[in-house]
Chains A and B, each alone.
Chain A
Amino acid sequence: MRYEGCWRKVIMATIEQILNECVERLRKGATVEQCLASFPEQASELEPLLKAVVSLNQFSALRPRAEFKAQVRTQALMALRRKTARKQHSWLGGFMWRRTWATVAVGILALVAVGGGAVAASANTLPGHPLYAVKTTVERAQLALTASAVGKAKLLVRFADKRVQEIGSVVKEGRGDEVDELSIAMVRDLERLKETIREPISPDRAISDAGKAVTAAATAQSAVLQPSPDTITPVPPPSSGVGVLAGPSAEGQKAEAHNGDEKDQGDVSEARDVAEVRQRLSAEAQKQLRYLEELLEEADEKDQPAIRRAIERAASAYEQAAKEGD
């Protein structure tokens, strides 16, 4: 009896190993028949197991929804950046913010001195053009150099609009295969808009982003960063956050340092700014969706699925961004 038990264990171990061997071979493209031919003594026991393995292998065909994947990507990247910025801040302390701002100031002067030719030339480019990277780098730089959360929110609405217009342009140029990438970029801008509204922007993070942006822009030979009205506001040393809804605005912080009346004025101004962003978002959502609907009607049949996906993404992303502002 004892020996029988031992034999059973040995046989089971063999079957488990053989099965695993076959799992690996099937994964590499072998057929069930080829595996069975390699293990004729175990063929009768193996065959039904390998048929189940074939079903299991088809599981690798499962893919997540593209919008979901893009959405999580933005969230994960934001999570990483938040932590990286925090870590850098804890290492560098209060001294470095001054030094970084000095770098930013020198960088801006250098960029202005170089001239705005590349930037101007890149303004109307589309994906695939050599200067398109300059265009997106300048956008990132504008965003990083914009200190107030409201200013960032307005810029992101504008960038999302640009992506929608670019979708129209690539379709008209017969390059419908670019539509998905552009619509995902648009969703990313609106996701960042949500984050901007939701999360306070720490001053040291704004400085760090500005430094990186200037370096990137200089590398791309893209001079003259066209600042938004909110751009390059001197940022105070690290203290509390600056958010559209979650914390006091830069203006609100100044007011707090003076007296209660001025603080009230700051709050009113902030509320007005938020209302303005919401209003603009709502107007742009309608306008851009109408534009995409019209584009869908005119587009070739082959481009229509991608445009439909872009419409779904845009509708959902604008709606989510508007909800965040409520």
Chain B
Amino acid sequence: MPAGSVLSGEGCQVQDEQRIVSRAQGGDEAAFSMLYEDNFDKVYRFMTLRMRDRTEAEDMTQQVFVKAFEALPTFQWRGAPFASWLFRIARNQVIDWQRKYGKRATSSLEEVTAPSAENLEDRVQDKLAVEQVVAASRHLTPAQRDVLGLRFGAEMSIAETARIMGKNEGAIKALQHSAINAVRRVLAQGNHGDD
């Protein structure tokens, strides 16, 4: 979780989150902002890894947030964090997109990258790393990309990832291992292009 995150951590903060969600359901803009700021970048990174194209990632992120906040007044708290619900919407959105459009060529990786570092040298390094990761993700299965998107894009825990993907934690650890191994192989070969 990033520093300063309003909803980071576990335990009593779950109650805080429940209160924030409840306020947002009543139309409270400050509560809405907390939910939005805490989750927007994570969903965007998840979508970037899943879609591998900035335009598609932006389009999908936009759809997820509009859909989620439209549905928020009817959201019922069942103990799972708000992010789990949000990322299930995000994941379903990707699955629907895949059903609709199947495999589609994506645009240049140049389009994907917009790292945040201030220093130029750091920014170039970040950009290269992001490009490499996104390129390597072309060689992964959808489930492996989901795991990497949730673990490294959204910075979810193993338990949260398991909840969102509807699998047990052991299965997520196995998928994480195979996905990292696949990324390692691609990076070692310097093969970042299309299949």
Which residues of A does B touch, CB under 8 Å? 12-13, 15-17, 19-20, 23, 27, 48-49, 51-53, 55-65, 68-69, 71-73, 75-77, 79-85, 87
Contacts and interface: CB of A to CB of B under 8 A. Distances in A.
A51 to B, nearest CB: 7
B65 A75 contact: yes
Nearest to B133: A59
A59 B152 contact: yes
20 contacts: A12-B177, A15-B177, A16-B174, A16-B177, A48-B188, A49-B181, A49-B184, A55-B133, A58-B130, A58-B133, A59-B153, A60-B2, A60-B153, A62-B44, A62-B126, A62-B153, A68-B62, A72-B40, A84-B25, A85-B27
Given A55-B183, A77-B29, A80-B32, 19 more contacts: A16-B176, A20-B158, A20-B177, A52-B183, A52-B187, A53-B180, A55-B129, A55-B132, A56-B180, A59-B130, A59-B152, A60-B153, A61-B129, A63-B116, A69-B41, A76-B36, A76-B69, A80-B24, A84-B73
A52 B177 contact: no
B87 to A, nearest CB: 16
Given A55-B133, A58-B133, A87-B73, A72 B184 contact: no
- Would you call the interface of chain B mostly helix, strand, loop, or mixed? helix
B129 A59 contact: yes
Contacts of B148: 56
A84 B130 CA distance: 39
Contact of B115 (A27, A63, A87): A63
A49 B184 CA distance: 6
B65 A56 contact: no
A165 to B, nearest CB: 25
Interface string B137-165: 00000000000100111010010000000
Given A55-B129, A83-B73, A84-B25, A62 B177 contact: no
B117 A72 contact: no
A77 B35 CA distance: 11
B173 A16 contact: yes
Given A20-B158, A55-B187, A64 B41 contact: yes
Contacts of A83: 69-73
B113 interface: yes
Given A16-B174, A77-B32, A56 B155 contact: no
Given A64-B40, A64-B114, A72-B62, A48 B29 contact: no
Given A62-B45, A62-B115, A17 B66 contact: no
Contacts of A84: 25-27, 73
B76 to A, nearest CB: 14
B58 A68 contact: yes
Contact of B170 (A13, A57, A62, A87): A13
Interface in B92-139: 113-117, 125-126, 129-130, 132-133
B36 to A, nearest CB: 6
A209 to B, nearest CB: 10
Interface centre among A65, A84, A87 (most CB of B within 10 A): A84
Contacts of B48: 62
Contacts of A57: 152
A51 B187 CA distance: 10
Given A48-B184, A72-B66, A63 B32 contact: no
A73 B116 CA distance: 20
B187 A60 contact: no
Contacts of B32: 76-77, 80
Nearest to A27: B155
B187 A63 contact: no
A77 B32 CA distance: 7
A313 to B, nearest CB: 16
B72 A80 contact: yes
Nearest to A208: B27
B73 A80 contact: yes
B49 interface: yes
Contact of B70 (A61, A65, A80): A80
Contacts of A58: 125-126, 129-130, 133
Minimum-distance CB pairs A-B, first 6: A58-B129, A52-B184, A84-B27, A80-B69, A63-B116, A76-B69
B69 A77 contact: yes
B89 interface: no
Nearest to B184: A52
B180 A49 contact: yes
A72 B41 CA distance: 12
Contacts of A76: 32, 36, 65-66, 68-69
Given A51-B184, A79-B70, A83-B73, A56 B152 contact: yes
